[in-house]
Amino acid sequence: GAVVSQHPSRVICKSGTSVKIECRSLDFQATTMFWYRQFPKQSLMLMATSNEGSKATYEQGVEKDKFLINHASLTLSTLTVTSAHPEDSSFYICSARDPGGAGTEAFFGQGTRLTVV
Amino acid sequence: GENVEQHPSTLSVQEGDSAVIKCTYSDSASNYFPWYKQELGKGPQLIIDIRSNVGEKKDQRIAVTLNKTAKHFSLHITETQPEDSAVYFCAASENTGFQKLVFGTGTRLLVSP
């Protein structure tokens, strides 16, 4: 299946700093990518839909100024957690759908474990 | 909007037994239903999916059934193995365009040797 690569896999940062997470589609072009957040032992909660060349669409309750999304190319979307605080500590996962695949399967990155200290 | 419920939250079986996980959805417009396996510290991995134009799909030990009238779909794993132990998520979305996936709450499957 298609490959979505996410980097870094783990990051520890100090409160007040910003962290950037990258999501790349390695063997297909993704006009749309999705960013999820997952707390321990819970399901995936969609944060925003990233659209290449336009503004991201945020889910209700997600602060767009805190979680900056940039989808500058067809293979790269980035999520920047600005002014991070301990409550932002979580597992962040991106996904992309392969428009050229057998269907519209969504493939997920490996996830990024963010710890804010 | 769509709401997906998943049961059970935990499931323990003996190696070789079958495991069944059930999901219900609310939006009749949903017509794409994937299942994901998530191992600890990793992203979800697609294991099987089904579209509304079929009632059942099978891939080796894994099968998915769909009842559109009742709005529920199920994952069946036969001859379970310890390496099947993981968290399984169902999801639902519209198949047109790039509609977002709505996930169930997850089922933690434990297969004991």
Share of chain A above pLDDT 70, in %: 93
What residue in B sits closest to A113 (Cα-Cα)? Answer: B41
Sign of the Cα pseudo-torsion (B38, B5, A86, A34, in order): positive
Tell me the pLDDT band of B96, cut-offs 50, 70 and 90. low
The pLDDT score that the predictor gives to residue A110 is 95
Average pLDDT for chain B: 93
Q: Which residues of A touch B34 (CB under 8 A)?
A: 105-106
Least confident of A1-5, A16-20, B37-41, B59-63: A1-5
What mean pLDDT is predicted for residues B2-21? 97
Tell me the pLDDT band of A98, cut-offs 50, 70 and 90. confident
The pLDDT score that the predictor gives to residue A30 is 85
The pLDDT score that the predictor gives to residue B80 is 98
Q: Do residue B104 and residue A43 have CB atoms under 8 angstroms apart?
A: yes
Q: Has residue B71 got a pLDDT over 70?
A: yes
Q: Has residue B95 got a pLDDT over 80?
A: no
Which range is most confident: A51-65, B61-75, B87-101?
Answer: B61-75
B22's CB contacts (< 8 A; 6+ apart) are B6, B7, B72, B73, B74, B75
Share of chain B above pLDDT 90, in %: 82
The pLDDT score that the predictor gives to residue B72 is 95
A53, A60, A87, B84 from B99: Cα distances, Å: 18, 16, 29, 29
The pLDDT score that the predictor gives to residue B57 is 94
Tell me the pLDDT band of A97, cut-offs 50, 70 and 90. confident
Question: Residue A37 and residue B19: Cα distance in Å, rounded?
Answer: 28
**How far does A105 lie from chain B, in Å, by closest CA?**
8
Q: Which two tokens stand for residue A5?
A: 């690569």
What mean pLDDT is predicted for residues A81-85? 97
Strand-pair category, A67-73 with B107-112: unpaired
Which of B45, B98, B105 lies nearest to residue A32, judging by beta carbons? B98
> Does A44 contact B at CB distance below 8 Å?
yes
> Does A1 contact B at CB distance below 8 Å?
yes
